Structure 1
Amino acid sequence: MSITTNETIRTVELAEHIGEHVRLRGWLHAIRRLGGINFLLLRDGWGIAQAVISEESALAPLQAAGAGAESIIALEGEVVASEQAPAGVELHNPQITLLNAVTETLPAAMHKRALKTSLPTLLDHAVVLNRHPSRRAIFRLAAAVMAGFRQTLLMKHFTEVQTPKIVASATEGGANVFPVSYFAQTAYL
């Protein structure tokens, strides 16, 4: 199957397109320089892909904008099998398109294997830090567990319902709530 450059594939699908010209979109995970060759890592919601860039000028769109880690980019290039590549395939000399530059310093190093940060930092910057592969793995595991429970109960002819939730304080969004007595305390429904 041939991919047109308008179609975007996922990083986990690269091995299916060896020898083809493909387009990837995602976050700039890291750039490593080894002996005159640049290795750009792009991360999407499914994994990480490596691109090999032999011409320094190919990085010009990123350098001109001061784009750092977590900038949103698109890569278009040929998929090549490589035993040295982390996933066994990589893009060679792709065209880089900067879609949205991140120029601010990130609250934690997103390219490290482990996310080392304090709980307050994690909570204050959850929108960014929840993209880290270790955090995404937690969410994927929780989603799989929930899907398993849901499927098991559906096979046993249970009916899933979404009930109103009891909360300790009235919401700020202006939703209609009313107080209820809940174990001798006021709660809101």
Structure 2
Amino acid sequence: MEQAIAFLRAQDEVFEKLHLQYGNPFIPSRPQGFVTLCKLILEQQVSIDSAKACFIKIENKLGQVTSKTIANCADEDLKSCGVSRQKISYLKALSKAVSEDLDLESLATQSADEVRNQLIKIKGIGHWTIDVYLMFSLQSPDIIPLGDIAVVNTIKELFGIHTKEEMETLSEKWKPHRTMATFMLWHHYLEKRNRKPMV
């Protein structure tokens, strides 16, 4: 962590100011595996609190959330837990991939690009979900999730740039520590809004 922060502080005075103001950022972590990917699907475009409540209902109904229990659960039962039709299809697609040929344990030994190439094939798993899984579960050090509204808005605020292309170009100089840059940007975003990180 210290090496990454020192690098970013040397690269850009914005990170120097953020670190002086807030100190070390919160580093989120989640377990690897099927359950975390299910939770990330549920969290797409809703609040974390809402997704968490939904997952607890699923867990209470199934006893244990696995690819088999999700695959065998009737759509109506998942709907009764608050899961939308669209996200039911995403959970089922993930379950199907795991039951067929997706080895989630092997992802930890693969590069970020290899992980992305496998997960992006699954219906309902886009770049935001993959980015968060890479950062939180696989501890990939060089991820910048430009599909995350908090990251995008914070870059706009702090750097005065507004297009994805400009943001991608800017983030090039943060390599190979773009994940730490993301954590520092999130830290600022949450602090300004008096919110605590939730994972």
Please, what TM-score do these two structures have when normalized by structure 2? Answer: 0.28
The higher radius of gyration belongs to: 1
Higher relative contact order (CA 8 A, sep 6+): 2
